Chains A and B, each alone.
Chain A
Amino acid sequence: MTEGASAFAATAGGSLLALPILVPAAGVLLSFLLGGRQAERIALALMPVQFGFAVAIASLIWRSGQPLVYVLGGYAPPLGIALRADGFSAVMLVTTSLIMPAAGLYARTNFATPNDGTERRAPLVFWTLLQAIQAALSLIFLGGDLFNLYVALELLTFAAAPLVCLDGRPETLAAALRYLMFALFGALFYLLGVALLYGAYGTLDIVLLSRQIRAEPAVWLAAGLMTAGLLAKTALFPLHLWLPPAHANAPAAASAVLSGLVVKGSFFLIVRLWFNVLPALPNAVPGAILAALGSAAILAGSALALRQERLKLLIAYSTVAQIGYLFLMFPLASGPWSAEAFSGGVMQALSHAFAKAAMFLSAGLIAESLGHDRIAGLGGAGRAMPVTFLALGLGGLSLMGLPPSGGFAAKWLLMKASIEAGQWVWAVVMLAGGLLAGGYLYRVLAPALSGNRPRLKSPPRRSRENVALALALAAVLLAFAPPTFFAFLQIGRPAAGAALR
């Protein structure tokens, strides 16, 4: 393994990579042990720390222009486990560490421990599992070993599923159970692929594997199984059935995290799989299949969103559609236009994370203030709670892909790449998806901004409105990402055209 040695020379500052995983994991254990109000305190106190780690990792990568590497326990792969961070990992880490505190600040009202300090079920579970999601996502973004990433996937499932049914209503229990079933299916198929890859090459390290992978039956089957499993967890059409009831029924703060971040975790692994593990596979056909499914998701998800009667379900179906866009990058991300398509896909993941979190938090405020979230009953609500609807509208701007918004930048890059690649059909789908998104947002916003102000059960708290607005503004601000940002995304990305080798 001498030729591999350079890949595992732990880079300076590499030990930083373990911290965003270990610190929230320790937080989970402590929160559960101490219970009561301590869970909330620990969760909120660790969030800025997590942001610090993310920024430190990003700046180290930026300064060196190289991915960060850390070998755990001094046991170098293939025997041991390595952590790696490239530009994409760092960006996702920073995004997570920004959305988590937003959800946390918003959730303080809903998940407060009573003043006498008695431990309550929902707060303890929420704050503990929120940190577990943080740990799991960090591991997904940093993991360099496919089995270690399986553990990360399971961590994510165990952290996310109970959040869906936190209020214990029967329909949320059914939604959580369905979610769990899809997630288990996904994890098992992923694991089966891992077994085949180990059987073929005797290593699960991403870098070592990528050097050895050849197009042979075991690899194709492994790739198919792992992709299918991860698609079920990402809820790409037609495996999306679990997502709308799960995301629509969870508490708003949890929905924001689930829709904004958790589905991006498994998407991130699909990107890792095809771009970092399997760059040697001819990816034209699989890429086209993924993009075709993505297109179907955009059209079906948007059409279903148009027909929903509840705001949270509409937003959840729009997640199904927006996930579809993520997969348009796959057939485009090889060849000279690859950097553009890759940037577009990442930009879509980021802008959707911020926009969707903002929209779910807004929808939560609307539901709390009006006592319902029926779209038919939203008339005039926008006048009663303008800041909430501003956040909702700005988030929607990004979903539609109108400038200025991160969604616009993402869709513009993807469209440019598809036209340059001569693959017009994706561009047409994106245009149609944008129109449909306009349609379903119009259904919500138009009546809300006209008509008489309804009587609110309780006006939303300004600080919580500001949280939603800040997220929506972040989605807008992504439109102004400088070129250096896109250069940063390319750090550590396997050379485009590795497939031609």
Chain B
Amino acid sequence: MSSATLAGLVGAALVGLGLYGVIADPQPLRKILAFNLIGSGVFLVFGIVARKGAAAGLSADPVPQAMVITGIVVAFAASALAVALTLRLFEETGRATLRPDAGTKPPDDGADAE
């Protein structure tokens, strides 16, 4: 098995692990971590695609590599936004939760709480 295929299998496993974390862990910060795992799994799939596209004297196809670099930066920005939201939520409520009914209070109640 080539190291590229191996990396691809790790990527697949990371997507599965991350997905489990996203679904099963109720804490937003843990979900953000899990999202980053899925992200790196996806990037690894791009990585083996790039490696298997070695040609023309290059040891990997540059196009998917460029996409991964773009993806890593976007993933960081997404993490930053999610972290900022989580922290603000924690400051406002003393807890960080994604409970669905947290959003169903009428606005006048919310104004009182503030």
Q: Which partner residue on chain A sits nearest B52 by CB separation?
A: A199
Kindly list chain A residues whose C-beta atoms are within 8 Å of the C-beta of B53.
202
Contact flag A173-B46 (CB < 8 Å), given A180-B82, A185-B35, A191-B71: no
Kindly list chain B residues whose C-beta atoms are within 8 Å of the C-beta of A188.
35, 38-39, 42
Asked whether A241 lies within 8 Å of B103 as measured between CB atoms, the reply is no
**Docked complex: B74-114 residues within 8 A CB-CB of A:** 74, 77-78, 81-82, 85-86, 88-89, 92-93, 97-100, 102-108, 110-111, 113-114
Kindly list chain A residues whose C-beta atoms are within 8 Å of the C-beta of B38.
185, 188
- The contact of A180 among B70, B85, B106, by CB within 8 Å, is B85
Asked whether B92 lies within 8 Å of A173 as measured between CB atoms, the reply is yes
Asked whether B67 lies within 8 Å of A147 as measured between CB atoms, the reply is yes
Kindly list chain B residues whose C-beta atoms are within 8 Å of the C-beta of A174.
89, 97-99, 102-103
Asked whether B31 lies within 8 Å of A181 as measured between CB atoms, the reply is yes
Q: Which partner residue on chain A sits nearest B71 by CB separation?
A: A191
Asked whether A161 lies within 8 Å of B63 as measured between CB atoms, the reply is no
Specify the main secondary structure of chain B where it touches its partner. helix
Q: How large is the interface on B (under 10, 10 to 19, 20 to 34, 35 or more residues)?
A: 35 or more
Asked whether B45 lies within 8 Å of A195 as measured between CB atoms, the reply is yes
Kindly list chain A residues whose C-beta atoms are within 8 Å of the C-beta of B28.
177, 181
**Docked complex: B30-85 residues within 8 A CB-CB of A:** 31, 35, 38-39, 41-42, 45-46, 48-49, 52-53, 63-64, 67, 70-71, 74, 77-78, 81-82, 85
Contact flag A245-B42 (CB < 8 Å), given A170-B110, A184-B82, A202-B53: no
Q: How large is the interface on A (under 10, 10 to 19, 20 to 34, 35 or more residues)?
A: 35 or more
Specify the main secondary structure of chain A where it touches its partner. helix
Stretch with Cβ within 8 A of B (4 or more), from A57-65, A131-139, A367-375: A367-375
* Distance from A246 Cβ to chain B, minimum over Cβ atoms (Å): 7
Asked whether A177 lies within 8 Å of B89 as measured between CB atoms, the reply is yes
- Is A198 on the interface with B (CB-CB < 8 A)? yes
Question: Bound complex: CA of A165 vs CA of B82, how far in Å?
Answer: 13
A-B contact pairs, 17 of them (CB 8 A): A151-B70, A154-B74, A154-B78, A157-B78, A158-B78, A170-B110, A173-B85, A173-B88, A178-B98, A180-B82, A181-B35, A184-B82, A188-B38, A245-B103, A309-B106, A310-B106, A313-B104
List the interface of chain A (C-beta within 8 A of B): 79, 147, 151, 154, 157-158, 161-162, 165, 168-178, 180-181, 184-185, 188, 191-192, 195-196, 198-199, 202, 241, 244-246, 248-249, 309-310, 313, 367, 371-374
